[in-house]
Structure 1
Amino acid sequence: MPIDLKDMTWLNPPPLAEMHGERLVVRTGPTTDFWQGTYYGFHRDNGHFLQQHRRGDFTANVTFVGRYEELYDQAGLMIRHDATHWMKCGIEYTDGARHFSVVVTNGHSDWSAFRLDDDFETMSLQVTRNGDALFIQYRTDEMEAWRMARLAYFDPALEDVAVGPALCSPQREGFEAEFLDFSVTNPVSRDIH
């Protein structure tokens, strides 16, 4: 489903965000990130996040491409209650390659990542919130089926969240991503297997 900006707002608006047909083209500002403390010691909450608000359980989908060049260039999907309770997932550029990355922050951030060796252009994400869990899946334009990346805890008491596309470039400015679609629906399923 093409991105409908009507009910969406930016947390930390980027220097460039333009619709090109049905694609949303976004370019980052300098040294943007979402991170809370762990290992690196810094606290950043200045990444770019196009959000719409949602309560209860849901499934969010987004498809995007990015021009990953510098360490930690990243694009994907975010679910956020506030600065210390959120999840972001997508592609992050590290060790000279694209990695599927998930950061879950419950006071402090954690990070899981695995290298994506397939040759692909677009990445699609599907995140389903069910009660206390976020079920995170991905699929590239070279795959037919969704693959599980992570099942993460997310406090069910935090009913009001924002959800939408996000991108950051902690080491530079000018990282560019294109978001091809975004949707939020009722949960698709509780099935994992």
Structure 2
Amino acid sequence: MSQFNIVNSKEGVPGDGTTLPVEFTLQAHPSTDIWSKPPNTQSFTAPILYQSVPLQSFKRARVAFGAQWKHKYDQGGLILVLHNKDGSQKWVKAGIELTHGKPHLSAVAKDNWSDWSLLPVPSGGGAATLEMAREADDSLWIYLVEGVQKSPIREVTWIFQEENVKECWVGVYAARPGTEGDVQMILGQGKVITRTVEIN
């Protein structure tokens, strides 16, 4: 398994760089985001803790996480980033985002531009366990995991069809697009099997 790396952060990688602690934090400063919206909004400034993996070897990633989501658009969760040979980026992120006055499960896929879908957090709280999994038909599915039950949230059909990928990141991110203080996302939630990345 490859080393963990961190971008858009002055913090070091938690643990020894190859194995993460059972529980750790990822802190995002104000005015950080991962978002792309016409006509010219392009933001890729949020801290991301990731491993580089071959895209075609990716099987699944899962994380348990939570935070005190206080300000509009506070967010964090799983992310998969494709760095293409032409310098462009495509990505999928899934997590919790504070909008319309409460935390929501959020899924965003960015091909040319971002789209965005929301669902209520079933517990009504600020924590969840999410999984991204490559299924037999080569679609990427995003699941909410509650105990042994996995509930589908979103299907992304195109990600494993990309042919010009130079590097693929799989990891976690946190963001505070607003200007008020920091947001600190806690990952692991005391569970042992939470930060799983599987590749062939």
SS at match of 1:109: coil
The answer to whether the aligner puts 1:50 opposite 2:49 as a matched pair is yes
**Would you say how many aligned residue pairs link Structure 1 and Structure 2?**
180
CA contact (8 A) 2:14 2:21 kept: no
Q: Which amino acid aligns with 1:169?
A: R
CA contact (8 A) 1:100 1:115 kept: yes
Q: Which amino acid aligns with 1:104?
A: A
Instruction: Give every structure 1 segment of 4 or more consecutive aligned residues whose post-TM-superposition deviation is greater than 6 Å.
Output: none
The answer to whether the aligner puts 1:28 opposite 2:36 as a matched pair is no
Aligned residue for 2:102? 97
Cα-to-partner distance string for 1:126-170 (whole Å, 9 max, x where unaligned): 111347521110124xx5411100011215225541101111110
Q: Which amino acid aligns with 1:37?
A: K
Aligned residue for 1:150? 154
Q: Residues 99 and 125 of structure 1: is their aligned pair in 2 closer, same or farther, counting only changes over 3 Å?
A: same
What's the TM-score, normalizing by structure 1?
0.81
Which segments of 5 or more consecutive residues in structure 1 lack a partner in the other structure?
A: 188-193
SS at match of 1:101: strand
Q: Residues 166 and 45 of structure 1: is their aligned pair in 2 closer, same or farther, counting only changes over 3 Å?
A: same
Q: Residues 16 and 171 of structure 1: is their aligned pair in 2 closer, same or farther, counting only changes over 3 Å?
A: farther
- How many percent identity over aligned positions? 22
The Cα shift of 1:25 comes to 1.2
The answer to whether the aligner puts 1:184 opposite 2:197 as a matched pair is yes
What's the TM-score, normalizing by structure 2?
0.79
Cα-to-partner distance string for 1:68-93 (whole Å, 9 max, x where unaligned): 01001001000001353000001000
CA contact (8 A) 2:14 2:24 kept: yes
Cα-to-partner distance string for 1:95-125 (whole Å, 9 max, x where unaligned): 1111111110012111111122524463111
Give matches, 1:60-79, under 5 Å: 60-79=61-80
Which segments of 5 or more consecutive residues in structure 2 lack a partner in the other structure?
A: 189-193
| Structure with more of its chain in strand, by fraction | 1
**CA-based RMSD:** 2.6
Aligned residue for 2:9? 13
Q: Which amino acid aligns with 1:152?
A: V
Q: Which amino acid aligns with 1:66?
A: A
Structure 2 Cα separation of the partners of residues 147 and 25 of structure 1: 26
Aligned residue for 1:116? 121
Q: Which amino acid aligns with 2:100?
A: D
